[in-house]
């Protein structure tokens, strides 16, 4: 992989991703539910931010807002300087296509397509020429350690391999922003660790800005910053040499955010 995609001739000062005062309220039969409450977040190229917190704390809600898959009740999201919250459908689609790679919690691979064909989808959306597409797919398959597996369908691959395909699909168009929702949620701990290391490597080597939601404590150790959304009481966080962060030791008021820089 070479450098992340940028639009020629444009400069993008400041963070690649900037969320300000993001609030998402869901109407439910038992009343309004505040899933995200005034969340601020800025992520620069080359930075890996882990979003952690208990089930139901609002992690997926936040990621969906950052990806433009959902619109906030209030607040704004800017990607490469573009306010995607108030963008029209075409502009939103362009920003998502050109800047964002998204990894879904349940892989989201199309079962009838091979691994290579799944990975090819974002390149087709970008109307890349077939030769170039093939070269990029080979390159990204090598990066995620799946050389030689391109012709296999998802059901012919292990869970960890499917997760690598999902990651390859998110990275194939060299997105400047990687958003991954629990990318290791369905994997055993050894495979999860390998995937997390791979994400860390790719983000830091290629200066991708990344936000990854996780229950996995090893991701917190790899992250440049940890954003905690959760229950309970806010407490200062600290980390000694060689320590990992324990989610059990972290607590914050419900739907509040504590940001910690390791």
Asked if 78 and 84 touch (Cβ cutoff 8 Å), the reply is yes
Q: Least distance from C-beta 33 to ligand ATP, angstroms?
A: 5
Q: Least distance from C-beta 62 to ligand ATP, angstroms?
A: 7
Question: Should residue 228 be labelled a site residue for ligand ATP when binding is judged by CB under 6 A?
Answer: no
For the record, the structure tokens of 142 come out as 């090598």
For the beta carbon of residue 75, count every other beta carbon within 10 angstroms: 19
Q: Least distance from C-beta 256 to ligand ATP, angstroms?
A: 13
Q: Least distance from C-beta 11 to ligand ATP, angstroms?
A: 34
Q: Least distance from C-beta 254 to ligand ATP, angstroms?
A: 10
- Among 2, 10, 11, 55, indicate the residue that binds ligand ATP (CB under 6 A): 55
Question: Should residue 60 be labelled a site residue for ligand ATP when binding is judged by CB under 6 A?
Answer: yes
Query: Which residues ranging from 130 to 159 are in contact with ligand ATP (CB under 6 A)?
Result: none
- Among 48, 59, 195, 220, indicate the residue that binds ligand ATP (CB under 6 A): 59
Question: Should residue 255 be labelled a site residue for ligand ATP when binding is judged by CB under 6 A?
Answer: no
E-strand stretches of 152-202: 177-181
The three-state DSSP-derived secondary structure of 120-154 is HHHHHHCCCCHHHHHHHHHHHHHHCCCCCCCCCCH
- Among 18, 37, 61, 163, indicate the residue that binds ligand ATP (CB under 6 A): 61
- Three-state secondary structure call for residue 202: helix
Q: Least distance from C-beta 181 to ligand ATP, angstroms?
A: 7
Asked if 71 and 133 touch (Cβ cutoff 8 Å), the reply is no
CA–CA distance, 176 with 211 (Å, rounded to integer)? 12
CA–CA distance, 165 with 149 (Å, rounded to integer)? 9
CA–CA distance, 62 with 164 (Å, rounded to integer)? 23
- Among 16, 22, 39, 57, indicate the residue that binds ligand ATP (CB under 6 A): 57
What character string, x for contact with ligand ATP (CB under 6 A) and - otherwise, covers 5-44? ---------------------x-x----x-x---------
CA–CA distance, 49 with 43 (Å, rounded to integer)? 7
How many of the chain's residues bind ligand ATP (CB under 6 A)? Answer: 12
Asked if 209 and 178 touch (Cβ cutoff 8 Å), the reply is yes
Asked if 208 and 178 touch (Cβ cutoff 8 Å), the reply is yes
**Piece of the chain touching ligand ATP by CB under 6 A; list 48-56, 87-95, 111-119, 165-173:** 48-56
Q: Least distance from C-beta 56 to ligand ATP, angstroms?
A: 4
Residues at the interface with ligand ATP (CB under 6 A) = 26, 28, 33, 35, 53, 55-61
């Amino acid at each position: 992989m070479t450098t992340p995609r940028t639009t020629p001739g444009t400069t993008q000062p400041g963070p690649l991703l900037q969320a300000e005062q993001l609030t998402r309220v869901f109407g439910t039969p038992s009343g309004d539910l505040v899933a995200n409450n005034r969340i601020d977040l800025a992520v620069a190229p080359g930075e890996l931010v882990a979003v952690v917190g208990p089930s139901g704390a609002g992690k997926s809600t936040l990621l969906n807002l950052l990806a433009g898959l959902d619109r906030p009740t209030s607040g704004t999201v800017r990607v490469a300087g573009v306010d995607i919250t108030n963008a029209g459908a075409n502009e939103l689609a362009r920003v998502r296509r050109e800047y964002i790679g998204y990894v879904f919690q349940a892989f989201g691979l199309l079962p009838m397509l091979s691994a290579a064909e799944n990975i090819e989808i974002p390149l087709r959306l970008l109307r890349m020429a077939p030769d170039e597409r093939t070269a990029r797919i080979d390159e990204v398959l090598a990066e995620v350690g799946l050389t030689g597996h391109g012709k296999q369908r998802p059901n012919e691959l292990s869970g960890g391999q499917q997760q690598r395909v999902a990651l390859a699909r998110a990275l194939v168009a060299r997105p400047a922003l990687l958003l991954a929702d629990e990318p290791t949620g369905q994997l055993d701990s050894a495979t999860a660790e390998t995937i997390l290391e791979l994400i860390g490597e790719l983000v830091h080597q290629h200066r991708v800005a990344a936000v990854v939601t996780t229950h996995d404590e090893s991701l917190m150790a790899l992250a440049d910053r940890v954003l905690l959304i959760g229950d309970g009481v806010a407490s200062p966080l600290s980390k000694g040499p060689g320590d990992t962060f324990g989610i059990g030791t972290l607590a914050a008021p419900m739907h509040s955010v504590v940001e910690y820089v390791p």
